[in-house]
């Protein structure tokens, strides 16, 4: 697969009727970014548990059937369904016992049954299990009137996984269930793509770092902390290059260092218009970068491109807005998916959108997508509803901290009345 160059895209962009960098729809920007993403190819073998949150670099084939043998799904009695007296009582003689992981080697004649525990191996002459609660015992006999259907309560060999079949394909992101699934095959090591390296720094003369005194006009740099949190949950290797003043030489040095060290460089601040425009000049000097005003709120300015860190090293670049909420929204809406692709997952599943009732009115302009910070809550009847988390300015990080979802209002939506159904995107567990 050849990746088009961004330069050729930038040169051709003006000829595309619907390309407007001053009003780029969210979906379109996502699509543009995706065409330039080249995933990591190097892989390593890791112990099964260490693969959690990583992406498989090779298919996992089942070396066996799981389960390995036909077994009982219940504690009960196993017998041949031909022995059922349809419409009346069935009476069977109990001739033995089989526990989980054990087998019964004797013969079971017609009219006989064997006591069997969950996971016990199905003996050769029988095909059905009745749960113990449905039988009455009478010395060495059991009786029952409510008979199960043939094959009831039997788990068959290969029912979960079949020998030779692909259990999980390369490109799969490992979740807790996958660890168990692979363990159930007796496989203790797997091949995963190497960790993605992500370098980031904040830009702005006004930024102070924790531990420094806050001078007049300064704010503490919070973006590197939210980025740290979001990147940590994505399982990437992080390189934090600090808060850099709007000084062209320092910015250039840091940008080049970041591009040499990492696969992806993320900066916050300095990409909006009217800014001391050093970042733009630097990005033009060392790479191919597109600047968009996304038709969204918050998160309007966004830059994406590639930076030449050294003659042999190119890094992906994301220039996020400076405002703290905008950093998080653009990360969730653009960077997260791009990182998943770069980590080796070719088609990351879209984040689900659910419709729920919004209990408060929301003022909103058409023509842009808004990501309002929302709180999903259960009302007194136990129905889940959503409300915005208060003031929604893009610098108001507490609105994000209180939120457990985004209320996603797309371009066609205007003011929202209380009681309207709105789309929400749940935040917990996304990254
Ligand atoms: P900018 O995009 O650089 O114009 O920044 C937009 C707003 O976000 C300004 O009010 C900045 O002070 C603020 N800001 C930029 N970077 C940070 C940061 N790292 N932490 C907190 N606020 C920031
Ligand atoms: Mg700035």
| Residue-wise pLDDT tens digits, 197-243 | 999 999 999 999 999 999 999 999 999 999 999 999 999 999 999 99
| pLDDT at residue 109, rounded to an integer | 96
For residue 284, give the nearest of 261, 252, 257 by alpha carbon: 252
Q: How far is it, in rounded angstroms, from Cα 230 to Cα 264?
A: 14
Ligand 1 centroid distance, CA of 310 (Å): 29
Who wins on pLDDT, 10 or 155?
155
| pLDDT at residue 16, rounded to an integer | 66
For the entire predicted model, the pTM comes to: 0.88
Question: Which ligand 1 atom is nearest residue 395's CA?
Answer: 8
Ligand 2 centroid distance, CA of 246 (Å): 7
Count CB neighbours of 145 within 10 A: 12
| pLDDT at residue 4, rounded to an integer | 73
pLDDT in tens, 46-83: 999 999 999 999 999 999 999 999 999 999 999 999 99
Ligand 2 centroid distance, CA of 369 (Å): 24
> Over 90: is that where the pLDDT of 307 sits?
yes
- pLDDT tier, 2 (very low <50, low <70, confident <90, very high otherwise): low
Average pLDDT of span 365-389: 96
Residue with tokens 């219940």: 74
Ligand 1 within 6 A of CB of 202? yes
Please tell me what DSSP assigns to residue 156: P
Ligand sitting nearest the alpha carbon of 271: 1
Longest dimension (CA), the chain: 92
- pLDDT tier, 7 (very low <50, low <70, confident <90, very high otherwise): confident
| pLDDT at residue 47, rounded to an integer | 98
Ligand 1 within 6 A of CB of 305? no
Q: The tokens of 245 are what? A: 């003043």
| pLDDT at residue 18, rounded to an integer | 73
Ligand 1 within 6 A of CB of 269? yes
> Over 70: is that where the pLDDT of 14 sits?
no
Is-contact 73 160, C-beta < 8 A?
A: no
| pLDDT at residue 271, rounded to an integer | 82
Q: What is the dihedral of CA 179, 185, 191, 192, to 10 degrees?
A: -20
Question: Which run of H or of E encompasses 318?
Answer: strand 313-320
For residue 350, give the nearest of 34, 102, 83, 138 by alpha carbon: 34
- pLDDT tier, 272 (very low <50, low <70, confident <90, very high otherwise): confident
Q: How far is it, in rounded angstroms, from Cα 113 to Cα 165?
A: 35
pLDDT in tens, 397-415: 999 999 999 999 999 999 9
Our mutation pick for probing the ligand 1 site, out of 204, 205, 299, 300, counting the most ligand atoms within 8 A of Cβ, is 204
Q: Is the dihedral of CA 403, 404, 408, 413 positive or negative?
A: negative
Our mutation pick for probing the ligand 1 site, out of 322, 397, 401, counting the most ligand atoms within 8 A of Cβ, is 322
> Over 60: is that where the pLDDT of 275 sits?
no
Window from 160-164, 334-338, 407-411 with minimum mean pLDDT: 160-164
Count CB neighbours of 137 within 10 A: 12
Question: Which ligand 1 atom is nearest residue 202's CA?
Answer: 19
Our mutation pick for probing the ligand 1 site, out of 216, 220, 268, 326, counting the most ligand atoms within 8 A of Cβ, is 268
- The 3 state secondary structure assigned to 358-382 is ECCCECCCCCCEEEEEEEEEECCCC
pLDDT in tens, 75-104: 999 999 999 999 999 999 999 999 988 889
Strands 313-320 and 421-426: what pairing? unpaired
Question: Which run of H or of E encompasses 273?
Answer: none
| pLDDT at residue 227, rounded to an integer | 98
Ligand 1 within 6 A of CB of 321? yes
Beta strands per DSSP E along 194-268: 197-203, 207-208, 219-220, 237-244, 264-268
| pLDDT at residue 13, rounded to an integer | 65
Is-contact 147 130, C-beta < 8 A?
A: yes
On the question of a cis peptide bond just before residue 67, with omega within 30 degrees of 0, the verdict is yes
Average pLDDT of span 322-341: 96
Q: How far is it, in rounded angstroms, from Cα 302 to Cα 122?
A: 62
Supply the residue whose CA is at minimum distance from atom 15 of ligand 1: 322
Ligand 1 within 6 A of CB of 298? no
Strands 219-220 and 296-297: what pairing? unpaired
Who wins on pLDDT, 429 or 23?
23
């Amino acid at each position: 697969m050849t990746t088009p160059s961004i330069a050729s895209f930038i040169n051709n962009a003006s000829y595309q009727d619907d390309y407007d960098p001053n009003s780029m729809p969210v979906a379109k920007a996502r699509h543009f970014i995706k065409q330039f993403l080249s995933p990591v190819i190097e892989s390593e073998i890791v112990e099964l548990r260490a693969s959690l949150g990583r992406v498989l670099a090779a298919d996992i084939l089942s070396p066996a059937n799981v389960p390995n043998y036909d077994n009982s799904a219940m504690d009960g009695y196993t017998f041949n369904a031909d022995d059922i007296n349809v419409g009346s009582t069935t009476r069977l003689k109990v001739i033995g016992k089989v526990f989980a992981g054990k087998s019964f080697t004797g013969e079971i004649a017609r009219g006989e049954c064997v006591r069997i525990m969950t996971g016990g191996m199905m003996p050769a002459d029988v095909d059905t299990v009745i749960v113990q609660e449905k039988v009455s015992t009478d010395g060495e006999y059991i009786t029952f009137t409510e008979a199960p259907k043939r094959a009831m309560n039997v788990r068959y060999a290969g029912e979960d996984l079949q020998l030779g079949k692909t259990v999980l394909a390369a490109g799969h992101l490992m979740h807790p269930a996958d660890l168990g699934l692979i363990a159930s095959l007796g496989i203790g090591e797997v091949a995963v793509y190497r960790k993605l390296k992500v370098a980031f720094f904040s830009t702005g003369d006004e930024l102070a770092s924790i531990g420094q005194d806050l001078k007049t006009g300064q704010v503490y740099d919070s973006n590197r902390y939210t980025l740290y949190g979001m990147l940590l949950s994505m399982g990437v290797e992080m390189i934090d290059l600090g808060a850099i003043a709007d000084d062209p030489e320092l910015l250039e040095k840091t940008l080049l260092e970041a591009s040499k060290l990492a696969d992806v460089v993320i900066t916050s601040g300095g990409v909006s218009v009217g800014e001391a425009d050093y970042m733009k000049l630097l990005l033009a000097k060392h790479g191919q970068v597109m600047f968009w005003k996304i038709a969204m709120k918050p998160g309007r300015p966004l830059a994406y491109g590639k930076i030449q860190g050294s003659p042999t090293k190119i890094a992906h670049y994301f220039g996020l807005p400076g405002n703290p909420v905008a950093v998080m929204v653009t990360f969730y809406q653009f960077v997260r998916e791009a990182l998943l692709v770069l980590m080796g997952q070719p088609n990351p599943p879209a984040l689900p959108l659910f419709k729920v009732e919004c209990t408060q009115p929301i003022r909103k302009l058409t023509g842009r997508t808004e990501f309002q910070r929302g709180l999903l809550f259960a009302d007194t009847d136990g129905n889940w509803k959503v409300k915005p988390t208060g003031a929604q300015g893009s610098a108001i990080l507490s609105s994000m901290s209180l939120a457990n979802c985004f209320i996603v209002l797309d371009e066609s939506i205007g003011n929202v009345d209380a009681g309207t159904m709105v789309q929400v995107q749940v935040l917990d567990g996304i990254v």
